[in-house]
Amino acid sequence: MYDAIVIGARCAGASTALLLARRGHRVLVVDRSSFPSDVISTHFLWPHGMSYLNRWGLLEQVLAVTPAHTTVEVVNDGISLTGSVPVELLREYFRDLHGDDSGVVQSCASVRRRVLDEILVGAAARAGAEVRTGFTVRELIVEDGQVVGVRGRAVDGELVEERARIVVGADGRNSFVARALALPKYDERPRCTFAYWSYWSGFDLGPPQLHRRGRLACAVVPTNFNQNMVLVWGPSEWSREFRHDVPGNYQKALDFVSPELGDVVRTKGTREERIYGTLDQSAFLRPLHGPGWVLVGDAESAKDQCTAIGMTHAFRDAELVSVALDRWLRGDTSVDEAMTAYGDRRRSQNAAAYHDYVCTLAEMRPYRHDELQLFVALRGNQQETDRFIATHADVAPVSEFFQASNLFLLNDAAKESSADHAVFEDFAETSRSYQQNLFA
């Protein structure tokens, strides 16, 4: 009999197992995969994601093999903004959500899952969690409406049964736990992006770059093995046409969004792997907890990759749920109260506003005139640029940046005007041309 069985041993699961085991609980964590291995992910960690790793003592191990930077460059229709997430906003985030602001770091990084997940799984094992890989859960054991354990097939093919006081579903968007319990989906936002990416050697462009033009976007981010992750994305309405020639359209999208980047990739880059892709990124929430079970990470809240926040959110969930479960397992509170505390933080007003923010961005509508002018107004205003980036990354609440009086002030303080930027020259015609499917 375990205190907790965690299903899924990647960002959400291994972290939850690690934190529970460190608090002295008996934890079993299982995953179908073996490690190291990859999984579909845009594998970016924003500074709060890196801060979680630091709080858990794992950051050094990650940084030993992974390039990290404190700034990111965001270029929208040629309007460039460079900034970093401010330390004081990070501290505020951790105080609000977790009640302490220790271990905050300002860096961000792109970490391959074959690297990161193995570090997490290793740390969970060292903390005393029992890790079983190559383990397929076949069934949840339910008694009197309460989940009390799992039946599954171990790596050697043996069928086993294990029991615990709580089962944690950390098994991602396609969660077996959610399927087995027939959990509904809430707050579905079907419009999402298609994303294709691969890994390239041969160039080093420094800090991460995110570019957007019309309905398409690309990112070049340095990652492990001296490679760059080069990612393109666009509205899923265009995915069918994109798929007719994946390598050709991948380069075509790069050239369209940023001719400079397209040129670097074409002339200097060597592609090291096949091109990967996904279209299945519509957003939804699931119920967070029920009798004998609780969900964390993508299993409880899946959303589009366009803000690259999934792993950071998985870490957040792991910390929130492990603190809540710890209080219950120790007998300090009832399970209902513990789960309510977790739910209040996960289904709060800020969480809802950020859900909407990502989903709206994922529609990949061309930026409107007013939005582009906001980016122009931010240029030269480093404090507000940094706060915008912090808002985009879900460190600062959406409601504080996107507030009428703040936006008025941004306008008033603008140092540049639209006259300085080419996209405004024939804006109406440019916007119309952006509606054309580039791959049709």
Partner 1 sequence: MNHQGDDTVTIELDEREDGELIGIILKAARCGDFETMARTAAEVSEMTRNWATHIPWDDLASLEGADDELARVVVDLTEMWEPAHLRNPVDPDEEYALDKNAYDFYRPAGRNLLTRTGDFYGWVQARRRTETWQYSRVLEAAPDSVAQITNDLGRRARGINFNSQDYLSFNTHPAIREAAARAMHDYGPHSAGSPMVLGNTRISDDLEAALGDLVGLDHVTLFPTGWAAGFGAVVGLVRQSDHVLIDRLAHSCLQQGARAATRNVVRYEHLNVEAVRRHLTEIRATDTRNGILVVTDGLFSVDADWPDLVTLQRVCREHDATLLVDVAHDLGAMGPGGTGVLGMQGLLGSVDIVMGAFSKTFCSNGGFVASHSPALKQYIKMFGGSHFFSNALSPVQTAVVREATRIIRSAEGDALRARLFTAIHALRDELTGRGLTCMGEPSPIVPLLIGNEKLARTANRLLFDRGVLAFMVEFPVTPTGSSRFRLQVQAGHRPEEAREAARIIEGAIADSRAYLSSAFGSAPR
| 44-73 footprint of partner 1 as x/- string (CB under 8 A) | ------------------------------
The stretch among 124-132, 144-152, 202-210, 340-348 that binds partner 1 (CB under 8 A) is 340-348
- Those residues with Cβ within 8 angstroms of residue 179's Cβ, 6 or more apart along the chain or in another chain: none
- Evaluate whether 17 touches 6 at the Cβ level (below 8 Å): yes
Residues 395-414 that bind partner 1 (CB under 8 A): 397-400, 402-409, 412-413
For residue 433, the tally of other CB atoms under 10 A from its CB is 12
Q: In the bound complex, what is the minimum distance in angstroms from residue 314's beta carbon to partner 1?
A: 14
Residues 129-188 that bind partner 1 (CB under 8 A): 171-174, 176, 179, 184-188
The structure tokens listed for 11 are 């960002």
CA 336 to chain centre: 28
The stretch among 11-19, 126-134, 151-159, 278-286 that binds partner 1 (CB under 8 A) is 278-286
Residue (295 or 329) nearer to partner 1, CB? 295
Residues 361-390 that bind partner 1 (CB under 8 A): 368-371, 373-374
Q: Which of 344, 380, 417, 420 binds partner 1 (CB under 8 A)?
A: 344
Residue (165 or 215) nearer to partner 1, CB? 215
- Those residues with Cβ within 8 angstroms of residue 426's Cβ, 6 or more apart along the chain or in another chain: none
**416 binds partner 1 per the rule CB under 8 A:** no
Residue (107 or 385) nearer to partner 1, CB? 385
Q: In the bound complex, what is the minimum distance in angstroms from residue 127's beta carbon to partner 1?
A: 23
R_g of the chain, CA atoms, integer Å: 22
The stretch among 79-87, 157-165, 254-262, 355-363 that binds partner 1 (CB under 8 A) is 355-363
- What percentage of the chain's residues is helix, strand, coil (to nearest 5)? 45, 25, 30
- Evaluate whether 187 touches 223 at the Cβ level (below 8 Å): no
For residue 184, the tally of other CB atoms under 10 A from its CB is 11
Q: Which of 84, 282, 307, 381 binds partner 1 (CB under 8 A)?
A: 282
CA dist 330 and 24 (Å) reads 10
The structure tokens listed for 185 are 């989906």
**297 binds partner 1 per the rule CB under 8 A:** no
Residue with tokens 């907790």: 4
**252 binds partner 1 per the rule CB under 8 A:** no
